[in-house]
Amino acid sequence: MAKKILKATFENRCNGCELCVLEVQRQLERVGLTDSPIRILRDSSKSTVYFHVEIDPSVNNLNIKEVIKVCPTSVFEIIEEEDEDLYIS
One character per residue 36-55, x = contact with ligand SF4 (rule: CB under 6 A): ----x----------x-x--
Q: Identity (one letter) of the amino acid at 5? A: I
Number of residues that bind ligand SF4 (CB under 6 A): 15
Helix (H) or strand (E) holding 30: none
Listed residue (20, 67, 14, 21) closest to 43, CA to CA: 14
Nearest CA-CA partner of 11 in 65, 40, 47, 52: 52
What single DSSP character describes residue 54? Answer: E
Interface pick for ligand SF4 out of 20, 24, 55, 59 (rule CB under 6 A): 20
Among 28-36, 56-64, 65-73, 77-85, which window interacts with ligand SF4 (CB under 6 A)? Answer: 65-73
> Please, what is the minimum distance in Å from the beta carbon of residue 38 to ligand SF4?
7
